[in-house]
């Protein structure tokens, strides 16, 4: 299963929590699902652009990569333990977080909410 990132911009539009948590966030986020890489550009907390790979040497601030099956379990309506949160995925070595870790930590609630929005409503 691939991540439904083609819908991320629409899902994130108008989300009050994202607006609050990412008020001054500017970053390029690469998300990998084992099959495809996606480049997500965030400007002032708004998901401005989502670009599907293949990408040739993209400039990124942060990279999050996990296998497709890990993302599939993360995206379940009620994920099992160890798949319910980005840090749980990281704790069990299912998610690689690379790049500016300070940025990730400073905007942790933003990134958690962004990935929550990918779950089925």
Stretch 86-111: mean pLDDT, rounded? 94
Stretch 80-86: mean pLDDT, rounded? 93
Is 121 part of any domain? no
Is 110 part of any domain? yes
Give the model's pLDDT for residue 55. 83
Give the model's pLDDT for residue 53. 85
* Residue 61 tokens, joined: 């601030």
pLDDT at 1 over 70: no
Number of domains comprising the chain: 1
Is 19 part of any domain? yes
Rounded-to-integer distance, Cα 108 and Cα 26, Å:
14
Is 78 part of any domain? yes
pLDDT tens track for 9-19: 999 998 999 98
Domain that holds residue 31: 5-116
- Nearest Cα neighbor of 65 from 77, 53, 76, 56 is 53
CATH for 62: 3.30.1050.10
For residue 116, the surrounding DSSP H or E stretch is: helix 108-116
Stretch 59-84: mean pLDDT, rounded? 93
Is 49 part of any domain? yes
Phi, psi of 68 (to 5 degrees): -55, -40
Mean pLDDT of all residues belonging to the chain: 91
Is 97 part of any domain? yes
Is 77 part of any domain? yes
Stretch 100-119: mean pLDDT, rounded? 94
């Amino acid at each position: 299963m691939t991540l439904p990132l083609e819908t991320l911009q629409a899902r994130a539009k108008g989300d009050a929590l994202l607006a609050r948590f990412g008020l001054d966030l500017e970053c390029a986020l690469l998300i990998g699902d084992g099959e495809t890489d996606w480049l997500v550009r965030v400007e002032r907390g708004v998901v401005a652009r989502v670009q599907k790979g293949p990408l040739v040497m993209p400039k990124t601030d942060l990279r999050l990569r996990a296998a497709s099956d890990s993302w599939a379990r993360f995206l379940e309506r009620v994920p099992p333990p160890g798949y319910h949160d980005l840090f749980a995925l990281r704790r069990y070595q299912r998610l690689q977080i690379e790049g500016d870790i300070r940025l990730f930590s400073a905007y942790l609630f933003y990134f958690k909410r962004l990935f929550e929005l990918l779950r089925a409503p």
